[in-house]
Structure 1
Amino acid sequence: MSEKVVGRFAPSPTGRMHAGNIYAALAAWLVAKSQGGEIVLRIEDLDRERSKSEYIDAVQQDFEMLGLTWDRGPFFQHDRDEAYAAAFDFLKE
């Protein structure tokens, strides 16, 4: 039994999407969907100083405007602070 393909688009919400973002989003979406898979939207908002909520909203709107949808998410990396701290502590040991 083969696993379902899961692609992801993980922009940093530090500005509006640009051609590189759009290319990455489209490529991930096409690969996943062409194989009956799913796409995950993961927001890389760990740069708290530069990440802005208006850019998060804009990324989602731009993604949808391009006719792309996501199956899971959006997931926010700031919600994983504890997991990152635990991994760092493990590595220090």
Structure 2
Amino acid sequence: MLIADQLKQFMKYLGITGVDMARKLSTFRSDDRKRAPETISRWISGKASIDAGVMAWIDQSVRIKAYKDVEAMVTFLVKNHRVYVVQ
């Protein structure tokens, strides 16, 4: 799977658009420049390479959301030193 395809899937899972992602990434820049939504579009289409730091941030965001989703779906009941999974 191409990194651009992974980025598309990650953004869909996180529920963010290219514009949302550009805004979020702009807040992390130390030079006060804005990340253009067109850059995100180039990443998604595979026309430009994606910065490794951006992919690491996206990956971490996906992991955090997945952890919260699983935590919300599954409740553990501990009885007599056994763990029962209730969905």
TM-score of the superposed pair, with normalisation by structure 2: 0.27
Quick one: higher RCO (CA 8 Å, sep 6+), 1 or 2?
1
Q: Structure 1 or 2: larger helix share?
A: 2
**Structure whose CA Rg is larger:** 2
TM-score of the superposed pair, with normalisation by structure 1: 0.26
